[in-house]
Amino acid sequence: MLLRDKLSLVEVFRITWKLDFMIILVCSLAYFADTYWLKRHISIPVSVTGVLGTALAFFIGFNNNQAYDRWWEGRKIWGAIVNDSRSWARNLLNYCDNGKAGEVPHIARRMIFRHIAFLHALKANLRKTGDLYYEGYLSKKEAEDVSNSHNIPNAILNIQAADLQQLRELGAVDGFCFRDLNALLTQQCDHMGAAERIRNTVFPPSYLFFTRVFIWFFVILNTFMLAESIGYWSVVFGWAVGFVFHVTHQNGISIMNPFEQNPMSLPLDSISRTIEINLLEMLGHQPLPSPVEPVGKHYLL
């Protein structure tokens, strides 16, 4: 997640120079093609680029809308994970009847620790990093069992359910409290699945492919049209208009896969660390890990 809404000219150039170069190259070629060949035969009517430009603005807007929806849904899912994590710890710490058996507080504590493991395992899964940080919050035995599974966070949830059943059999939670805790477990499973859905579902590639093709189409036609009235200046203005369309399209694409590990994606490191701190604090754990710092005061991962 970027933190600043100002970019210096240098940064803009660093981000877009490849694109700039490509557009200028294409506009130059179009300019020469028009000047030394096409112009001698025909003159492109203005209306063609007008209609194409308007239509393109629509189609880019459509892609951006869907991209933003994916990004914001991803953010909502992790927001819900934050909320359910706090409720999970609050319920376990306050509603277990500790008088029933000596081991009850231990079970509750390890269910909270294990939830932190779930978060980190889910994050590693979504980002495909293979990060094993989550193992620190599991017992050795659990870490081993879980590591053989096709879906590690899901395997952790199964252990949680087994412990929840044990709490119930020990009489530490009654049926009412059991349902509240199990509802939270089910919701964690739902959030996990929803995040996987976004990560695994490719945005229809034909939309992106053809939009990109149409933008190049438009850039070329626009340069043809401009070349006839303003000569080699058509490269400058062709680039300017092409830049607006291409950059807006790129903006959409950059947030389309919100669980990747880059400056535009959701700051999963920071979010999961915040929950970690919240939960450890509720457990009275010392010392607390420090929050994730922005990279170069610039973005959060």
Taking residue 301's Cβ as centre, other Cβ atoms within 10 Å add up to 17
Distance CA 267, CA 249 (A): 22
What sign does the CA torsion over 70, 74, 75, 77 have? positive
Name residues contacting a copy of itself, limited to 145-164 (CB under 8 A).
Answer: 149-151, 154, 157-158, 161-162, 164
The least CB distance from residue 128 to a copy of itself, in Å, is: 15
Q: Residue type for 282, please?
A: M
Q: Is 190 in the site for a copy of itself (CB under 8 A)?
A: yes
Among positions 122, 156, 241, 268, the unique one binding a copy of itself when judged by CB under 8 A: 241
Ramachandran bin of 267, using left for φ above 0, alpha for ψ from -120 to 50, beta for the remaining angles: beta
Nearest one of 155, 163, 164 to 122, comparing CA atoms: 155
The least CB distance from residue 1 to a copy of itself, in Å, is: 6
Beta bridge partners of 2: 299
The least CB distance from residue 130 to a copy of itself, in Å, is: 18
Q: Is 41 in the site for a copy of itself (CB under 8 A)?
A: yes
Could you tell me the CA-to-CA distances from 114 to 121, 132, 146 in Å, in that order? 10, 14, 12
Region binding a copy of itself by CB under 8 A among candidate stretches 26-34, 120-128, 139-147, 232-240: 232-240
Count of positions on this chain that bind a copy of itself (CB under 8 A): 113
Residue placing its CB nearer to a copy of itself in the complex, 102 or 175: 175
Q: Is 170 in the site for a copy of itself (CB under 8 A)?
A: no
The least CB distance from residue 127 to a copy of itself, in Å, is: 18
Strand positions, DSSP E, the chain: none
Distance CA 227, CA 271 (A): 51
Name residues contacting a copy of itself, limited to 49-108 (CB under 8 A).
Answer: 49-62, 64-66, 68, 71-72, 75-76, 79-80, 82-83, 86-87, 90-91, 93-95
Name residues contacting a copy of itself, limited to 251-290 (CB under 8 A).
Answer: 251, 254-255, 264, 277-278, 281-282, 288
